[in-house]
Structure 1
């Protein structure tokens, strides 16, 4: 099992109640999983915990067999670089880098630059004519395609996506989701996606719902 979340709890400082109350789920290598829930239900919190971006209070999370609770900050950063990629609602591209440079950025950090794969991603994402442009010269849909390509360039074991089409109109959203699902399956990457859209959730292999701090 690639990702195992076992009875995880999380309470933020100053909060009157926990945001997560014993959440458990699993995600196999190459599988796609959608998590839905109301705003404030803890979806993004759980996603961040799964990617070793934050610490949980109780329970355990295993990523590629590695328990996260025993890792220091350096160990968590190393695990993220080697196993995890992220796509957020905000595109988070590096404004001083061109499209081509943004696409190659994470693969270089992970020590897995693959020119052929990046070229294939560039073509499949419809970015071949845009490689010399900078993020400010792109539409929202184009920027999100660059963000997806950058995330997949290192062929991560796990892609975490937090409302990846939330800033796009319906047409662009459908096109971006089509491409992301195709490329995730082609690369063998597992996808853990947070979304408010039931239509998007139904397109993934599994769909769970978070309410009251628990998976229901």
Structure 2
């Protein structure tokens, strides 16, 4: 049987912080189209570092990372930016919303850059995330939970091939958290995207297809 091509693959990836402290030690993983994977681990175990590498925000010291058929080792800064714009979307604990743009403008910004702006899809995201009455506001006028929902919506508006999320529901109540996770899982089902999600929640991890654990720089 032919193995499905990987949407994200790490092959013996190593990353060491300045000063010589190893963060990732020979990490290998595969994420296939339509697959959802939960990544857990203790604080400081390297989960965010792994996501930064997968999203081309940082480079590995050794090993190979491939996203949707593109090897990251061969990309310059412009190529890495294009990959994040066109193939991968990231939701991190820092919201990184553009303060001079309204919620509506923030939601549309990345999709427009990627040439994939879809008013109907964006409207569905807005409704599902409960942002309909926030579109004219600016980030500073929003609560932390509202900003987090905008950041999630902005990432999903591009219909990314690969969605990387670091504790995306950490500032949300249980009802909003369930709605956000359901929307992410539906995106994967509808588009064949892949989801790699960092979480401390066993309940969230159970809803995903697979669960991997990072400890002392190694996956299990």
Calculate the TM-score normalised by the size of structure 2.
Answer: 0.90
2:161 counterpart (157, 163, 167):
157
Task: Map 1:41-80 onto structure 2 (within 5 A).
Answer: 41-80=45-84
C-alpha distance in structure 2 between counterparts of 1:210 and 1:86, whole Å: 19
Query: 5 Å matches for 1:116-135?
Result: 116-135=120-139
Q: What do the CA deviations read for 1:53-91 (whole angstroms, capped 9, x no partner)?
A: 100011101111111111111111111111011111222
RMSD of aligned C-alpha atoms?
Answer: 1.7
Structure-2 residue corresponding to 1:189: 193
Determine the C-alpha separation between the residues in 1 that align with 2:69 and 2:140. Answer: 40
Aligned counterparts of 2:144 and 2:181: Cα–Cα separation in 1 = 14
Summarize the Cα distance change of 1:135–1:42 in structure 2 as closer, same or farther, 3 Å threshold: same
User: What secondary structure is seen at the aligned counterpart in 2 of 1:161?
Assistant: strand
- Cα distance, 1:170 vs structure 2: 4.3
SS of the aligned residue for 1:23 comes to: strand
Q: Equivalents in 2 of 1:146, 1:131: separation in Å?
A: 10
Moved over 6 A (4+): none
Q: Is the 8 A contact 1:148 1:180 kept in 2?
A: no
Segment of structure 1 superposing worse, 113-122 or 173-182 = 173-182
The answer to which of 22-31 and 138-147 deviates more is 138-147
| Count of residues in correspondence between the two structures | 215
Aligned to 1:88: 92
Q: Identify the residue that residue 31 of structure 1 maps to in structure 2.
A: 35
Secondary structure at the residue paired with 1:167? coil
By how many angstroms is 1:105 displaced?
Answer: 0.8
- CA shift, 1:152, in A, is 0.9
2:152 matches 1:148: yes
Cα distance change, pair 2–120 in 1 and its aligned pair in 2 (3 A): same
Deviations 1:171-210 (A, max 9, x none): 5434433333334434433111111222211111110001
Q: 1:12 aligns with which of 13, 17, 24?
A: 17
Match of 1:114 in 2: 118
